[in-house]
Chains A and B, each alone.
Chain A
Amino acid sequence: MMTLERPADGPGKPEEEAAARNLPILFVDPDPPGRRRKRYQPKHALEQPVRADRTTLWVFLILFLTGGFVAGTTAAFSASTTDSGNTFGSATLSNPAGQTIALASNTLSLGITAFGGFDGAPAVTYGARWRYMWPTGVSTTGSSIGCSPTTSSYTNDLADSATSSTSITYTGLSGFADGRWMCVMAHTAYPATKPAAPAVQWYSQKDNPNQAVQLGHVVQSVNLLDVGGTANRLQQNDKIVITFNQPVDSGSRPTSGMVCARSANERIYVGLASCSSNDPASVSAISLYPTSGVTLSTNGSYNTTWAWSVDGKTLTITLNTNTNVNVNGCAVGTSCFRVRMSKTANPSTALESATVPKRNLCIATDDENFDNGSCEPFATGSF
C-alpha cells in the first residue's frame, strides 16, 4: 500500500503506476501541491462572507425551518361530524270548551265539556283548572259583567280537578261579598293531576273560556213590562218580572200578594196581604222606589197573579186591576225604579235559596255586599 502523489514533473499517472505495482489506491489528490487551487481571500475588510459560508448557512436554515413544518403537519390529523342543526321544541296546550258554572247556596259547580289537547292533538286524560278575578265594573241592572279574555288577568286560583268538573265553596274567597260579580276562566291542565312541588302543571294559555257569575243569593234583575197599553201607568196586565241568581226554595216562595203604590213615600210595595197596612214595608220583602225626579201620581191597590218559573229563579207578577197610577218624570226606556229588599216578618225564611244550606236573600241593609248596590239592581223597562 502506498500513497501516491502526482510527481511534479514525472511522466506517468499515479493510477497507472499503482496498477503496475499491484498496489491499492487510497487517495488521489486531484490537485497536486504544485497545482493546488488557492483559497479565495477577501480583498476588502467589509467584503461579504465567502460563498461556501453562505451555502452552509442556507442549508442549516432550511433544515431548521422545515423541521417545524413536519411537526405541524403530523398534528393536523382529525375527523369530525357535525349535524346540520338540532331542535328541541315544546308544544302548546289548547283551551277547553264548554265552560259551565252553576251556583247553589254556597257552592259553585264548575265544569267543561271538552279538554284541549296539545296543538290540535286530541286530549287524552288531562285535567282542568279554574282561576278567577274580580272585575272592576259593577252591573247595576243585573246584566252579566263582561270578563277579560286575557289569561294573565286571572291571577287567583279557584279550583283544580283531574276530571272535567269540580265544585267549591266560594264564601271563603278573599274579596267575596253577596251580590258581587266574579269572572271565572277555565283552563286545560297537564298533567291531569296536580303534582307535588317543585313539579308543576302546564295550563292552556290562550282562548280559554271565561264566564261571569254573581255570588250569594240575590235578586239579580227586575224587569217592568208595559202590557196595559199606556206608558208609565200602572195598569192591568202590566208585569213585574223578578229574577234571582239561584233557585228559590219551593217552600219559601210566596205565591200571592197585593201590589201597593204609595205616593206619600214614593214606593211600590210587592207582596202585601193588604194595601191598608200601616207599615207595609215591615211585611213586604220586595219594594220598588223611584229614582231621583220620579214620582207617583196617587195611591193604588192591585190584585195580582204570581207565577214562578220551573227552575224557581224567575217570579212574574201580573197586575189584575186597573187604578191608573201614573209614573211621572220617567223617560220611557230608562231605569226609573230601584229594587229594595227587606226581610219579611212572616215567614222570616221567605225567598231562601233552594239548596242546603239554605241561604238568605241578600238585603243591602243587613248583609255585606259589594259596592252597596249589587243586591239592589235598577229595574229595566217601564210600566
Chain B
Amino acid sequence: VEQRSAGGSVLRKLLYTMIVVSGLASMVGAGTYASFNAATQNASSTFSTGSLVLDRNVAATTCWSFGVAASTDDNANSSCAAVVDLDRVKIGDSNTVDIILKNGGSLPGTLSFGAVAACTSSANPGVNWTLGTGDMCTNTAFVLQEWSAGFSSAMSTCAYPASGVSGCSFTTPATLTANATPPSPAVGATPGLPLASSPQTLGAIAAGASRYFRMTFVLPTGVSNELQGRRAQFQLTWSLV
C-alpha cells in the first residue's frame, strides 16, 4: 500500500508539473496568440507564412536563392556563378565586383556573408609556368564596401573589414585566409575571410529592398615573386535570415 501511494504521488507530481509548465508555455506564447479573439466569429481563419528570398546580382546576372526550381522548399542555391574568376593578375592589380543583394521575399531579414570553407592556394594551371610556392590566400587582399543605390556613392563605413577610417581602406584590408576567430579577428590581427559557419553580418534588409556592395580584390605591390603563377580558390555564401 505504501508503494502504491508513492507511485501515485509521483504520477500526480509529474502531472501537476506538466500542467504548470504547459500553462507557463502558453503564457510565453501569449504574444503570438493574443490577437486571436474568441468574441468574434471569423468566416474563415488563415495562418499563412511569409518568405525569405535572396537575389544576388553580379554582372547583370541574378542568381536566386531558390535556384531554378522556383520554389523555396530548397532555398539555398549553391550553383551561382563565380563572383571573381581571374587567372592573369599581376602584382599591384586590383579587381572590383559589384554585387546587388535583394530581399525578394515578404519578410525582413538580416544579411551576412562568409566562405563555405577555408581558401585554398595552389599552382595556377592556366599560366606558362608554375615555379612559385607562395600562399595566394594569405597574400590576396580584399575589402567589401557598401554603396548607395546604383553605386553612386560609397557609404561612410566599411562593410568588411570594419575600420575606423571613412570607407574601406587598403591600408588595413582583409585577406582570403580563413578567420581564426570568427566572425571577427582579434584586435591587431590581420582580418581574414569569415567562414559561413560564423558569418559576418551585414545588417538588416527590408522585404523587397536591395543593398549594393562592391568587393575589391588586390594583389598588393609588396608580394614576392613566389606569388607568380599561383591561385586562390574560395566559395562565398551570401545569406538572408
Known: A56-B15, A63-B22. A88 touches B236 (CB 8 A): no
How far is it, in angstroms, between the C-alpha of A195 and the C-alpha of B88 when the chains are bound?
Answer: 21
Least CB distance from B151 to A in Å reads: 20
Assess whether B77 is in contact with A46, with CB atoms less than 8 Å apart.
no
Known: A82-B77, A119-B127. A88 touches B92 (CB 8 A): no
Assess whether A206 is in contact with B232, with CB atoms less than 8 Å apart.
no
Assess whether A83 is in contact with B233, with CB atoms less than 8 Å apart.
no
Chain B residues closer than 8 Å to A79, beta-carbon distance: 52-54, 65-66, 72, 75-76, 105, 109, 239-241
Assess whether A53 is in contact with B127, with CB atoms less than 8 Å apart.
no
B116 at the interface (CB under 8 A from A): yes
Assess whether A86 is in contact with B25, with CB atoms less than 8 Å apart.
no
Chain B residues closer than 8 Å to A85, beta-carbon distance: 82, 233-235
Contacting A at CB under 8 A, from B63-91, are 63-66, 72, 75-91
Using an 8 Å CB-CB cutoff, how does the interface string of B36-49 with A read, 1 for contact, 0 for none? 00000000000001
Using an 8 Å CB-CB cutoff, how does the interface string of B1-40 with A read, 1 for contact, 0 for none? 1011001100100110011011001000100000000000
Assess whether A93 is in contact with B228, with CB atoms less than 8 Å apart.
yes
Assess whether B127 is in contact with A86, with CB atoms less than 8 Å apart.
no
How far is it, in angstroms, between the C-alpha of A94 and the C-alpha of B66 when the chains are bound?
Answer: 45
Least CB distance from A74 to B in Å reads: 9
Assess whether A80 is in contact with B239, with CB atoms less than 8 Å apart.
yes
Assess whether B89 is in contact with A78, with CB atoms less than 8 Å apart.
no
Assess whether A89 is in contact with B76, with CB atoms less than 8 Å apart.
no
How far is it, in angstroms, between the C-alpha of A345 and the C-alpha of B86 when the chains are bound?
Answer: 71
Chain A residues closer than 8 Å to B131, beta-carbon distance: 205-206
How far is it, in angstroms, between the C-alpha of A67 and the C-alpha of B32 when the chains are bound?
Answer: 12
Contact of B231 among A57, A90, A202 (CB under 8 A): A90
Contact of A81 among B50, B64, B129, B221 (CB under 8 A): B64
Contact of B4 among A46, A80, A205 (CB under 8 A): A46
Assess whether B238 is in contact with A81, with CB atoms less than 8 Å apart.
yes
How far is it, in angstroms, between the C-alpha of A360 and the C-alpha of B153 when the chains are bound?
Answer: 70
Using an 8 Å CB-CB cutoff, how does the interface string of A205-226 with B read, 1 for contact, 0 for none? 1100000000000000000000
Least CB distance from A40 to B in Å reads: 15
Known: A67-B29, A198-B222. A89 touches B136 (CB 8 A): yes
A306 at the interface (CB under 8 A from B): no
Assess whether A82 is in contact with B233, with CB atoms less than 8 Å apart.
no
The number of A-B residue pairs with CB atoms under 8 Å apart is: 206
B96 at the interface (CB under 8 A from A): no
Assess whether B18 is in contact with A120, with CB atoms less than 8 Å apart.
no
Assess whether B1 is in contact with A202, with CB atoms less than 8 Å apart.
no
Known: A85-B235, A91-B90. A80 touches B65 (CB 8 A): yes
Chain B residues closer than 8 Å to A120, beta-carbon distance: 128
Contacting B at CB under 8 A, from A285-311, are none
Assess whether B18 is in contact with A203, with CB atoms less than 8 Å apart.
no
Least CB distance from B16 to A in Å reads: 10
Assess whether B237 is in contact with A91, with CB atoms less than 8 Å apart.
no
Contacting A at CB under 8 A, from B202-237, are 217, 219, 221-225, 227-237
Least CB distance from A340 to B in Å reads: 47
Assess whether A92 is in contact with B65, with CB atoms less than 8 Å apart.
no
Contact of B87 among A89, A93, A203 (CB under 8 A): A89
Contact of B116 among A82, A92, A198, A202 (CB under 8 A): A82
Known: A86-B85, A90-B228, A200-B221. A80 touches B127 (CB 8 A): no
Contact of B77 among A77, A81, A91, A92 (CB under 8 A): A81
Chain B residues closer than 8 Å to A312, beta-carbon distance: none
Chain A residues closer than 8 Å to B225, beta-carbon distance: 200, 202-203, 205
B107 at the interface (CB under 8 A from A): yes
B124 at the interface (CB under 8 A from A): yes
A8 at the interface (CB under 8 A from B): no
Task: Name which residue of chain A comes closest to B105, CB basis.
Answer: A79
B140 at the interface (CB under 8 A from A): yes
Residues of B within 8 A of A (CB): 1, 3-4, 7-8, 11, 14-15, 18-19, 21-22, 25, 29, 49-54, 56, 63-66, 72, 75-92, 95, 105, 107, 109, 116, 124, 126-132, 136, 140, 176, 196, 217, 219, 221-225, 227-241
The list of the 3 closest CB pairs from A to B, nearest first, reads A89-B231, A89-B87, A79-B65
18 A–B contacts from the bound complex (CB under 8 Å): A53-B15, A57-B14, A63-B22, A64-B22, A77-B241, A79-B66, A79-B240, A83-B236, A84-B78, A85-B235, A86-B234, A87-B232, A88-B176, A90-B229, A91-B229, A120-B128, A200-B224, A205-B228
Residues of A within 8 A of B (CB): 45-47, 49, 53, 56-57, 60-61, 63-64, 67, 77-94, 118-121, 190-191, 195, 198-203, 205-206
5 additional A-B pairs beyond A67-B22, A82-B78, beta carbons within 8 Å, are A82-B237, A87-B86, A89-B231, A90-B230, A91-B88
